[in-house]
Amino acid sequence: MATTNTSPDQRAVDSALALPITPKRMGRFNRWDTPWLNRKLLTGAAIVGAILLIGIFGRLFWDTDLAFTASSPLNLPPPGFVNSRGQEGTWAHPLGTENSGRDMLALMIVGAPNSFMVGVVAATVGMTVGVILGFSAGFIGGRLDDFIRLISDVTITIPTLMVLIVIQALLPVIELSTMALLIAAFAWPSPTRLIRSQVLTMRESGYVQMAKLSGTSTFSIMFKEILPNLLPYLAASFIGNATGAILAAVGLETLGLGPQRVPTLGGTIYFAISGAALLRNMWWWWALPTLLLALMFIGLLLINLGLDEVANPRLRQASR
């Protein structure tokens, strides 16, 4: 009988091929069929959702009027800590009080939704304008495309924060809605450019060309054929815009250019800076709103990364 001599490397390859192929172990959530349910997206949504739920339902369990009235003892630390005057914190004010006697827990409950609302309103307005202009530029093209690209390129080069600082400093009274609309005025170029580039790619695809040949109207092609495929990109762009808007609002509020009548997280940090909280060792005055903002930004970042994986299958495969 003839025998064949095989090298050790060849035998290793043959034995590997003979083994049953098992799928790569994936995380618990990545086993689900839908790409919308991934770890980053769910974790980020849980963080942001928890903050918003505390802001919405916290009013049912805590007196939020303490965020507006200075009726509590001044500069009380949280329970278990002692301030510079030897006063120990009490559970009547579990997060302490600030320089004017306002309760920090009430400030967090009221301030978090207000800060988040600025980002949502600004992102909604910016995305609405971006969708309209991006679709028009990408699908219609021609001179309209040239004009929209020109104004978006000019707007995106403007130093937004400097312009907002000047405008806010000139306004006698600043409201949350006013701040949100001012930020939204500079929030539309980025989604416009994103949507335009995606529409330019999709309008040359086979299903769009078939829809044109079948006599489908332009409106139906835009909103029934192209728009559903843009939803992951729109969602990621919306979260990115909301994050940028919240960051811009917090920056203005920290400089003292935010609304004075309504508590916000950035406004609380501004009053802590004005009251020399760091020098007076009143860490709870500035650390708590800073920590809450950090958690909010981490949650939004995770949502954005999760939505990027939904929109980009390569990222989704790499994360498994």
pLDDT per residue as tens, the chain (320 positions): 444 555 554 554 454 444 444 444 444 444 444 566 678 889 999 999 999 898 889 888 898 888 887 777 888 899 988 887 888 888 989 999 988 889 999 999 999 999 889 889 999 999 899 888 988 888 787 888 889 999 988 888 888 888 888 888 888 778 888 888 889 988 889 889 888 888 888 777 777 777 777 777 767 777 777 777 788 788 888 888 899 899 989 988 898 888 878 889 999 999 999 888 888 889 999 999 999 999 999 999 999 888 888 766 665 555 55
Number of domains in the chain: 1
* 88 beta partners: 82
**Distance in angstroms (rounded) separating the CA atoms of residues 115 and 230:** 28
Whether 52 is covered by a domain: the verdict is yes
**Domain that includes residue 40, residue range:** 35-63+73-318
Q: Is the pTM of this model over 0.95?
A: no
Whether 6 is covered by a domain: the verdict is no
Whether 90 is covered by a domain: the verdict is yes
Q: What's the CATH number where 93 sits?
A: 1.10.3720.10
Whether 23 is covered by a domain: the verdict is no
